[in-house]
Structure 1
Amino acid sequence: MRAVAFLLLLLCATCHIALSFTDGKWHFPGLLPNGNFELGPKPSDMKGTEVIGPHAIPEWETSGFIEYIKAGQKQGDMLLVVPEGAFAVRLGNEASIKQRVKVIKGMYYSITFSAARTCAQEERLNISVAPDWGVLPMQTLYSSNGWDSYAWAFQADYDVIEIVIHNPGVEEDPACGPLIDSVAFRALYPPRPSSRLKWLAVEDLASMVTNRLYEVGQGWQKWHTSSMGSSFLELLIFSCLDHAENLLKNGGFEEGPYVFPNTSWGVLIPPNIEDDHSPLPGWMVESLKAVKYIDSDHFSVPQEKRAVELVAGKESAIAQVARTIPGKTYALSFSVGDASNSCEGSMVVEAFAGRDTIKVPYESKGKGGFKRAVLRFVAVSNRTRIMFLSTFYTMRSDDYASLCGPVLDDVKLLSLRTPPRHI
């Protein structure tokens, strides 16, 4: 009976951490209440398409010029499309929408929402949860249907927070402004770096295998420096990596923002996101353009359920700083592939580990697939910056309008013992 009680207590504690709740109701990862705006204002709270009154849209509080948009509605010659359901909202000049959410103080959370430009070309959005805020640029359109999904993360400083999405733009036409739809929310669990004890055991294993191979024949020293020996050592490294703890955090990208199940364009991780508030825990987007977070339900992913697509050439880079020991040898391994999204052609992923670099070519047919690569390097400091970017810009062959690029996944960093040198 005590065991059952303990398990129930553990389950309750787990659920408490995994959930947040809105207006006193438990809220699982997914859409906020009326996050897709399908519950609209009453006719008495509307003046044409304009929403009248701050509480006219259920579950939301609005300010400024807000329009309630129906799918298929026209703006001049432009047909307004809604990605999910039949309704969305448009934020005019200095307009905002917000919703209160009860959370666990100190935890990290991510917000995912879909947005589309209308008449303005330099649109941007300010998203905030006090005291944190961020400005998300919308100049670059990554999908051909006009809509992109964005992610933003924060750490909760209070038990009740307000999620605010604000249009800071000032246009001549007050009706100009971004469309917003499908606002979702989930808790993030920042992964920890690996235990030192386990990877020391793995490097000892690699050293023992190397020594044993030398004992097999005196020709090993000459053979292991050849191209064939180098390839064999790479296979050995991969074998060790498969059974070792990873020195990088979230190397498989499994922890990240909520991905909408009914959309097929992934989620953009905005540029210049800092590590401590990244919607992709452990990683920083150090570039002018976003990287795309993709899932195996809609794309080809090399490992497990999630991966990252480098969609904007050298303007789309992702990085992480790892703890290293100067003078030690390390192996950085990773998968490069395509997302099976008609992204075809010659691709190259550049990987950097401190001063060392490698370029990994990949010929994509746009139908999925991947290859493994490894970069061995000697650390020169106690912190080493690991970074990946795509050399080329690529457009999808099915619409020639959507940016795409190579997929990065299963990134591992292993400490290796330098093989003995025999005279």
Structure 2
Amino acid sequence: MAFLISGLLPNGNFEMGPKRSDMKGTVVTNPHAIPKWEISGFVEYIKSGQNQGDMLLVVPEGAFAVRLGNEASIKQKVKVVKGMYYSLTFSAARTCAQEERLNVSVAGDWGVLPMQTLYSSSGWDSYAWAFRALYDVVEIVIHNPGIEEDPACGPLVDSVAMRALYPPRPTRVFVDNVIKNGDFEGGPYIIPNTTWGVLIPPFIEDDHSPLPGWMIESLKAVKYVDSDHFSVPSGKRAVELIAGKESAIAQVVRTVAGKRYSLTFSVGDANNACAGNLVVEAFAGKDTLKVPYNSAGKGGFKRAVLRFVATGNRTRIMFYSTFYTLRDDDFSSLCGPVLDDVRLLSIRNP
């Protein structure tokens, strides 16, 4: 059993497949037929380009993926560091039903990831989910709880990966930055050669967040993007607010009542044809600021600042996008402004 810090799980892309004797058509008949995995229920081994009725099934990475039918699951044991937080990343696509979802669980932690909203026109999205390792070896389970008329109806799953998350702390540049992970460099594993980033699902709290230090306080996901595939204002990683006011991130920080603070941050676009008038709304307690950004969809950013006086020893910092926006080159893909390099500094001499 391999010890994993960051990267694909063993056979996490399912390129090593079952023997023909362990299959009936596309259905895998032996629970241990897929190397490194154990399966249960109606699981299919899908080759890219395979037809399902009038639909062509496409695989995001490599040539193979699995499809989980009603109540089907895949699981694998992984060696970890007890007490450490990890983020699980995997790619998934709907194939039949609008209400498809996946249940992810690891040693007492679990979460249901809704797939009703498709954010990428490729048909695939990558999702992140975090957990704390309670043991030295954990079992990762991805389960389809769906109950469809067609038992084969269910999502495709591919590229299952993991990344260790380290506790975020306030940073010191020249002065103390109260915000934790304000540069978003700490976050989930982004699968190489995928161009759609990673979705961080809604209603994620900061103690189990794939984006350390941050909560997703919204009905829709936010997207985690990297500089290999997108324009990022600073460093290697940033967040794209892709679903208007339904796509929000927040952090509660320590402040001193009566003290003045300066919240600075970068607003830009990801160089993904997200053009038009983008607006990020920033909140610090009861103070707000709207930051317009006229995007050509080709990259770029600007800095903004919100100054406020703290009213208590805790202040809630939040960001969301004012508008829903679609990419100019793809009217079925949601997009939005990029947020990066968030800093909260006390002003000693206003």
TM-score by length of 1: 0.82
1:33 aligned to which of 10, 16, 23? 10
Deviation at residue 26 of structure 1 after TM alignment: 3.6
1:134 aligned to which of 89, 111, 114? 111
Distance 2:3 2:54 in 1: 43
1:247 partner letter: V
2:288 aligned to which of 357, 360, 365? 357
Contact kept in structure 2, 1:70 and 1:86, CA below 8 Å: yes
2:23 partner letter: M
Percent same amino acid at aligned positions?
A: 79
Summarize deviations over 1:73-132 as a string: whole Å, max 9, x none. 011100000000110000000100000001111000010000000011011110000210
Structure showing greater Rg = 1
Correspondences of 1:375-390 after superposition (within 5 Å)? 375-390=306-321
The residue aligned with 1:345 is 276
Distance 2:120 2:154 in 1: 18
- Name whichever structure is richer in strand by fraction: 2
Task: Determine whether 1:187 maps to 2:118.
Answer: no
| Superposition misfits of 4+ residues, deviation over 2 angstroms | 25-28, 242-245
1:53 aligned to which of 26, 30, 38? 30
Contact kept in structure 1, 2:252 and 2:316, CA below 8 Å: yes
Contact kept in structure 2, 1:45 and 1:51, CA below 8 Å: yes
2:214 partner letter: W
Deviation at residue 399 of structure 1 after TM alignment: 1.3
Summarize deviations over 1:379-418 as a string: whole Å, max 9, x none. 0010000000000000001111100000000000001125
1:110 aligned to which of 49, 65, 87? 87
Summarize deviations over 1:291-333 as a string: whole Å, max 9, x none. 0000000000000100000000000000000000000000000
Contact kept in structure 2, 1:112 and 1:257, CA below 8 Å: yes
The residue aligned with 2:131 is 154
Distance 1:356 1:415 in 2: 15
Aligned length: 350
Distance 1:388 1:27 in 2: 33
Contact kept in structure 2, 1:292 and 1:310, CA below 8 Å: yes
Contact kept in structure 2, 1:247 and 1:322, CA below 8 Å: yes
The residue aligned with 1:220 is none
1:287 partner letter: S
Distance 2:280 2:25 in 1: 51
Distance 2:98 2:70 in 1: 14
3-state SS of paired residue (1:400): strand
Contact kept in structure 2, 1:348 and 1:406, CA below 8 Å: yes
2:323 partner letter: F
Contact kept in structure 1, 2:43 and 2:67, CA below 8 Å: yes
Distance 1:62 1:306 in 2: 34
Correspondences of 1:23-422 after superposition (within 5 Å)? 23=1, 25-194=2-171, 243-419=174-350
- Name whichever structure is richer in helix by fraction: 1
TM-score by length of 2: 0.99
Q: Any stretches of 5+ residues in structure 1 without a counterpart?
A: 1-22, 199-241
Deviation at residue 192 of structure 1 after TM alignment: 1.3
Deviation at residue 261 of structure 1 after TM alignment: 1.2
Distance 1:366 1:113 in 2: 27
Q: Any stretches of 5+ residues in structure 2 without a counterpart?
A: none
The residue aligned with 1:231 is none
Deviation at residue 244 of structure 1 after TM alignment: 2.2
Distance 1:268 1:120 in 2: 20
